[in-house]
Amino acid sequence: MTQFMDVHRGMLGITADQLQEAHQADLAIEKEEGVHFKQAWADPDSGIVYCLSEAPSADAVQRIHERAGHKADEIHPVPLTV
């Protein structure tokens, strides 16, 4: 399965609790699309959130994010890791 890094913009001032809540919303339904969200990071000052997932496609990642209420602005495959 491919790893994906997605970017969410416009989350200025996001708190740790809000990040956890958004991540939990994804986890609650991720299996319906065969996705697994591994981790999320946020920068409250810039309003940017990053999510790392494993999924069959970028479309599957986006469908989960949309249903959870936070559509990704960008989704990038990450074919190489060390």
DSSP 1-69: -EEEEEEE---TT--HHHHHHHHHHHHHHGGGGT-EEEEEEEETTTTEEEEEEEES-HHHHHHHHHHHT
DSSP state of 73: S
* pLDDT score, position 66: 98
With bands split at pLDDT 50, 70 and 90, how would you rate the model's confidence at 43?
very high
Could you report the per-residue pLDDT of 50-62, keeping only the tens digit for each? 999 999 999 999 9
Report which residue type is found at 58: A
Question: Which residue do the tokens 């697994």 mark?
Answer: 36
Q: Which CATH architecture has domain 2-78?
A: 2-Layer Sandwich (3.30)
pLDDT score, position 76: 98
Per-residue confidence (pLDDT) for residue 61, from 0 to 100: 98
64 touches 35 (CB < 8 A): yes
What is the pTM (predicted TM-score) of this model?
Answer: 0.94
